[in-house]
Structure 1
Amino acid sequence: MIAVISFPREAAWTLANVLHAAWPESSVVRHARYTNCFQPPEALAYALGSFEQTVVVGSVRQVVSLLDGFGGDLRGKDLLCVDPGARWVIRLAGGDRAAELAREVQAVLGATPVLDGTGPLPTDPPPPNASPDVPEDAPVLRVTDQEDPGDGDLLVVPRTLVLGIGASSAAGPAEAMRLLTATLEETGYLRRAIGWIATVEGKGGHPAVRWAARCLNVPVEEHPAELLADVTVPNPSEGVGAAVGTPSVAEAAALASAGVGELVVPKRKSAGTTIAIARAALRGRLATIGLGPGEHDLLVPRALAELRRASAVVGRPEAVEAVASLLRPGTRRVALPAPGAIRTNPGEPKDWPGAATDRAGALLDPAGAAATLASHGHAVALVALGDGSGLTVPPGAYDLHHVPGLPTV
């Protein structure tokens, strides 16, 4: 039985009904609505928990976001996502059976199957590390915060831009938004990529800041003037420093909220406001997983989910090898030997195949390698045999999760 669910949008409801009509005896259809308790999270959890095959008609970004918080096991499940425009069908989980279901969706809706991380849709997979033949007109998944002229592309817009605003007491409510609109048209950055507004402490309630927050539907973050005064900016102003205690408001506030980021649009001025835009660095994810002494097919679902989502798996060779069969195709494996196992004989290379080094060329231990990859935005699983109690990593610009690999008894 196939679960066909749609997220709240009239076009999605229509497509879900069309699919159900094509499979009247082998499918059930459910429509998520914001007006009752059956909303997208409940709809997806219901389908994945009750059926082996699920087709979601809705935004792929929303589906992927909901999967991040899904606590169940996706092994043996087939999951497809169809965009509400019936342009693409994307396989998010499953193997050959899911590929066949994607072809059926294609036949019913005319949607184009998209190559994805679980493997190509043709029956015969390519050899390891081979690039599949992609049609010239195949849609391309692009992650961008700028206007993209690509025709037929799937665009994912991360909300990683920070709008810094400085406003004088004479600035009108709409002045900052007028300046922002002109700036976005000139620079090509997308309005929907702005994730939050930053300003100096005490200006969060300014009419221009409040109006911009309302128009953009984003939160406002305030920073003390003394903190902003320590932020290095390209366009400081002595006059601003004398007036508010910091030589920069818009640029410094945007950078302060961006953390490890960069200023992508320097200060722009109108009569009563200044704005600047910074791009926050994407935060990585680091999960430490204890694999137990053996029987790694008995890993708890959360550990399996972390291994499946990881773009890189780091650990001693025996630990990385133990989980190799559980990883997605293309997952980077970084196997680092114990220090005594490194070859140091004259004439032999000092590095180890697949090993990670710092900028000085020194060999990193598994924790150091995992932290380095995560701090650069990767999703990393740090694995070890045993209960994982010895897996410790330094704090950094990443989300840290400790996962027991085996259920406790």
Structure 2
Amino acid sequence: MIGLVAIDGAVRPLADELHAAWPESSRVHRASMGNCFQPPDAMSFALSQYRRVVAFAPLPTVVSLLQHWHVDVPRGTTLLCVDPQRRWVIPLAGGKAAEELAREVEAVLGVTPVLTGYPPEPEHPAPTPPPNVRPDTPADTPILRVIDQEDPGHSDILVFPRNLVVGIGAGSGTERAEAMRLLVDTLEENGFARSSVARLATVAGKANHPAVRWAASCLAGVPVDEHPAAKLAGVPVPNPSAVVGTAVGTASVAEAAALASAPGGQLLVAKRKSATATVAIARAAVRGRLTVIGLGSGEPDQLGTHALTELRSASAVVGRPQAIEAVAELLRPGTRQAAVAAPGTVLSASGRVVPWACVAVDGAGTVVDHIGAAAQLAAHGHAVALAALGDGAGLAVPPGPYDVHRVPGLPVDQQGASA
């Protein structure tokens, strides 16, 4: 996927034109001053999400974003700049790959590549694999991670649970840009992904504050919870303020509101302050669902109605590659499929290498099997189907913050035949 960053309104037609030529392999991100997605935010976001980025802006503007705003270009990223007058496409990072992409942009937009030649890319040591991965596991085997933090840089199958609550306090003079900058900085400094924020929380009467509404809009329209000051006053917090208590009737807004909207959860980031705003981050306690489905011989047309219903209602289906192959055609579009390979093995039932099989790791980076991967997803609130050939009775699911169900794949009148 290629990230296309339009720095202001004047270059949006160029970005849209390139996207129209590559509709399946590119995404446009539009930035503008006064928007919550300002140029530094847009560039930083694109460079963190894509290995190939095309910025549409004058070259000095892009250089200024990288230098003065300290926007980092991750190692191995390809970055191009297309000038607004449709004259040049200039590779800024990525070596030979950047020149090749520049040629592709030339073919679509008719711009002239400015190619200066690059020395050979420096050799870097191979990344250290997660512990317990056998050395004969293919180097490009993807890793499945369930994480509410930004990509640690060496995985490519990520599941972002929406389990973060941001408590926010805003004064009468709080500007929306001030509150959003504080919120974004707090997320970034602590490594949390914007897409993991499920909701905002504040004191009663502040949900319609322009800064709070703006923050919710910038976070893809997440809901805003309001809590009475009397309720927040009863929430234990690490950083109460007598001044705030006198002004609004509770000694804490951000921390207390975040915890009030995350019952049973924990405060991850204590109160952060700007001139007139405060934010805090809590992780909500969630309860998922893990259903073990025995597939019998793995023939889709033999599955019972209950098993089919569970498969089609799951947000993720986990299993060995053979089991995922057996049910893939039955799943709803968008259902995440995690074919977790046995250690050192990425083979299908027919003996062919399955390139999409992955190694799964837990929060500490330790390799887990398909059962552990399913438990990780369920522990983050997902509805997970753990598919297994046979009856699945031998799969021992560990206890956790999820409900466990077992469903035989075959109709009741055929279960004896598969034993």
TM-score range, shorter chain: 0.3 to 0.5
TM-score, length basis structure 1: 0.43
| RCO higher in structure (CA 8 A, sep ≥6) | 2
TM-score (norm 2): 0.42
